[in-house]
Amino acid sequence: MVISNVKICDINGERFANIEVEEGVITKIEEIKGKSETSLCLIPSLIDLNVRVKDDVLNSKRIEELSNDASRGGVKDVVLNPESTPAIDDEIVLEFVQNNQIPLHGANIHSSINTIKSSDATLSNIAILLKKGAVAPFMSTTTHNNLAIKIAEYVKMYNVTLFCRAEDRSLSNMGVMTEGAVSSHLGLAGIPAIGELLHVSRMIELARYYGIKVLFKSIANPRSIEMISKAKKEGVDVRCEVSIHHLLHSDELCENFNTTAKIYPPLATNNDMKLMQEALKNSEIDMLTTLHQPSSPVNKEVAFFDATYGCESIDHALPLYYTKLVKSNMISMQEFIRLSVVNPAKAIGETRGGIEVGTKDFVVFNTDESLHVKNPQSLYNGEELFGVIKKTDEL
């Protein structure tokens, strides 16, 4: 099959070409000299390191649903958050997820692992689980220091990246959204932003002391980004992931008790949202995530306090990123690929981001075509998004 007159966008820049594809693999790239007029764009497939299955219930059907939804959104590889039911913290559950790869035709499903067992709060068998194919250990900063130090030692031993969520349960357990004017207006218990800041600082020092790689998951405070950026300049191997929602929306979206906007970590204040946008423009953010966490309607169509956290977006990930970040000129296409392909791949020990002969993980989309989101559990329901993904038989 030949894809004619397509703009290739990868980590190395942009070029125009005619491409031959056989059985899903690029076999020939014939570059076109000069600038061509085309709305077809070919980029590396996206990677999302922070997704969950529906209602956090881990079974074959929901793994397959996630795989298909991600594929529709241009995402080829996803990493499951291990805080599911059952939790991914032993060999049996890990093997279950891996065995469900066989019949899938959508995105590849990878697993991070809970470093602390959900059953008895003891250390899981990190060494065995990493050898069995888990891509990264996951830790909440609610973990006690004595266990956190042991986890750091395993991370250093196996030279992997520690996925870390910075939170303080003593501050967040009673809250349901960010503490501030909106929570006060709605009469809802707020979560103080300082909880994240305290634990980002703690984990930076742990990373510095042990010389380990730490990826902070779904950061929601610009001051946290500032601390992580400063630590990176000092030689500490820490990275920052931010969700697309925290860059585009503030806690004001929770007005009228909108449960779709109840996500975790909670949406920040409007001022903090703008500061995170500036951090994105200044290349202080390392990775993007859709923070995909689908819920059954019965768990969302209730009072705000009782509603589960989460929203859906991975099935329109590429059009969402393209429209809101690239088409709007917030970032370049090359920067977008760094954030959604190159850096996430590095975090799980892979190398991605280039398009060349032999590449099989790529997606083609039309920047002129648009779609309308039709999903009440998406923060973008009813919006028009550009960048419709094309199947190979449509080209």
Q: What is the DSSP string of 239-295?
A: EEEEEHHHHH--GGGGGGG-GGG--SSPP--HHHHHHHHHHHHTT---EEE--B---
Q: Residue 199, SS3?
A: helix
pLDDT tops 70 at residue 395:
no
Q: Name the CATH code of domain 45-353+373-382 (choices 3.20.20.140, 3.40.50.150, 3.40.50.300, 3.30.930.10).
A: 3.20.20.140
What is the mean predicted confidence (pLDDT) over 323-337?
Answer: 98
Tokens standing for 231?
Answer: 């630590």
pLDDT surpassing 90 at residue 278? yes
Q: Which amino acid is at 205?
A: E
Query: Does the structure show a pLDDT above 80 at 392?
Result: no
Given this model, what pLDDT does residue 384 score? 98
- Mean pLDDT over 30-52 rounds to 93
Give me the pLDDT at residue 303, please. Answer: 96
Average pLDDT, the chain: 95
Q: pLDDT band for 174, please (50, 70, 90 cuts).
A: confident
pLDDT at 102: 67
Dihedral in degrees, nearest 10, Cα atoms 50, 54, 57, 60: -100
Per-residue confidence band for 394, with pLDDT thresholds at 50, 70 and 90: low
Minimum mean pLDDT among 29-38, 89-98, 114-123, 330-339: which range? 29-38
- pLDDT tens by residue, 89-146: 999 999 999 998 766 679 999 999 999 998 899 999 999 999 999 999 999 999 999 9
Mean pLDDT to the nearest integer, 327-349 = 98
DSSP result, 310-350: -B--GGGHHHHHIIIIITTTSS-HHHHHIIIIIHHHHHTT-
H/E stretch holding 204: helix 194-210
Radius of gyration of the chain (CA): 21
pLDDT, position 155: 97
| Residues in the chain, overall count | 395
Question: Is the pLDDT at 393 greater than 70, yes or no?
Answer: no
Asked if residue 109 lies in contact with residue 78, where contact means CB atoms within 8 angstroms, the answer is yes
Return the pLDDT at 95: 96
How far CA 274 is from CA of 141, 171, 184, 294, in Å, comes to: 26, 24, 21, 26
CB 202 within 8 A of CB 288: no
| pLDDT band per the 50, 70, 90 thresholds, residue 37 | confident
369 pLDDT above the threshold of 90: yes
pLDDT at 41: 97
pLDDT for the residue 333: 97
Q: Which tens digits make up the pLDDT trace of 55-66?
A: 999 999 999 999
Helix (H) or strand (E) holding 50: strand 46-51
pLDDT, mean of residues 308-330? 97
pLDDT value, residue 47: 98
- With a cut of 60, say whether residue 346 has pLDDT above it: yes
Q: How far apart are CA 201 and CA 341, in angstroms?
A: 27
